[in-house]
Chain A
């Protein structure tokens, strides 16, 4: 389905983490210091790539099986589910959702991860899906472990899953991280706390949903994502401007 944003509200930059956040040391040398140049989104920002179902294979959103070699990955089995909505609360379909995460021991399958915890031979930690007509999505995975990282002397990342969302246009582009309700590391994490407003931080925390958990199998965690854009139209057979 071809989609185009009609317009987007201005992005509230004070709701997002500032580019310069010294507790997260790497941000110091990677943050622009001059003002952003603001303009009303043009066609170049209101359009974006159209990702079709053709690029998604059936196991792409099942991290328990997609990296399998000779068994299931180790760790607490879980589902991450929710919906993608716009700023009017309406579902956004066909959003490409890509996730990546550490394994249950807190180790990423990445050449630059030197943590001493082991890799899991049956786990890649990558998944993707498209949101459904009602905006819904789900991934089956294992709960990622916390891990230490080089920032201050004793900084640890809370358990988290990275999430990339490509909606209908460039202006909706968003990459974020999802955390887990009740994680005692959250108050200590400078990346989580780079988001200034506690109400905004709460939006990054998945909630345990016992009713949707599967007895003797897995726990279900729920998070909804909100993308910019109050207006969206579908014009599959309608030429531009008609």
Chain B
């Protein structure tokens, strides 16, 4: 029985392979990895943005992040036959080389049924790759304005410390009429983000 191939760090040059456009390689000039939808998408358009911080609170400016989420009705594109065809569900964002800020343009996901009667609160799965990260980090973005759904979420409920649950809540703001959720990631330290093994 073969075991899984071991992970290795994505390293500092991960952009060449995953997002060549951000460093000027015209390998896929038509692609805009950090926008998860086409025109006509259902639901509320939102931005999710943030910074990944290292243990000294310095932005990780070489990080690449991947987002996977359900559509506005909680259906996964490519898997649920009635999912919104204008929604891809998947995106990538590179931290800005000077500020470390990453930005996704997406829509607010709907709650996701577990199949056993329970329902997961609206959330996005987030994977983090960077130099110095030997195996990618997996976390989830929940939304602070979904307090009721969050309180019933079976995954959040696994986190024993209430203050650690807070690390997974994106904070809602309005900017020029657009809904912007702020989600910073702390790789270590007193504000260390909850990372999952699933």
Interface of B is mostly: loop
Q: Are A175 and B7 in contact (CB under 8 A)?
A: yes
Q: Are B5 and A162 in contact (CB under 8 A)?
A: no
Per the CB 8 Å criterion, the residue count for chain A at the interface is 84
* A23 CA / B150 CA spacing, docked (Å): 40
Q: Report, as a range, how many residues of chain B touch the other chain.
A: 35 or more
Q: Are A36 and B20 in contact (CB under 8 A)?
A: no
Q: Are A110 and B17 in contact (CB under 8 A)?
A: no
A53 at the interface (CB under 8 A from B): no
Q: Are A112 and B12 in contact (CB under 8 A)?
A: yes
* A23 CA / B8 CA spacing, docked (Å): 14
Q: Closest residue of chain B to A223, judged by CB?
A: B5
Given A16, A48, A108, A224, which contacts B135 in the complex, CB threshold below 8 Å? A16
B-contact bits for A114-131, CB 8 A (1 contact / 0 none): 000000000011101000
**Minimum C-beta distance from B45 to chain A (A):** 20
Q: Closest residue of chain A to B157, judged by CB?
A: A39
Given B1, B9, B195, which contacts A36 in the complex, CB threshold below 8 Å? B195
* A36 CA / B197 CA spacing, docked (Å): 6
Q: Are A109 and B4 in contact (CB under 8 A)?
A: no
Given B90, B129, B188, which contacts A31 in the complex, CB threshold below 8 Å? B188
Q: Are A32 and B134 in contact (CB under 8 A)?
A: no
Q: Closest residue of chain B to A179, judged by CB?
A: B8
Q: List the A side residues contacting B136 at CB < 8 Å.
A: 173, 175
B-contact bits for A202-229, CB 8 A (1 contact / 0 none): 0110000000000000000000111110
* Sampled A-B contacts (29; CB under 8 Å): A4-B79, A17-B9, A21-B134, A25-B132, A30-B54, A31-B134, A36-B195, A37-B158, A37-B159, A37-B195, A43-B113, A44-B112, A45-B125, A47-B68, A49-B90, A88-B1, A109-B16, A124-B20, A124-B27, A126-B25, A126-B27, A162-B13, A164-B17, A170-B125, A170-B127, A192-B8, A195-B6, A204-B5, A226-B2
Extra contacts besides A42-B155, A48-B90, A126-B20 (14): CB < 8 Å: A11-B4, A29-B54, A29-B58, A30-B130, A37-B196, A42-B112, A44-B76, A44-B120, A100-B17, A110-B12, A111-B24, A112-B62, A175-B8, A191-B9
**B contact set with A: CB distance below 8 Å:** 1-18, 20, 23-25, 27-28, 54-56, 58, 60, 62, 66, 68, 70, 76-81, 88-90, 97, 112-115, 120, 123, 125, 127, 129-138, 140, 155, 158-159, 164, 187-188, 192-198
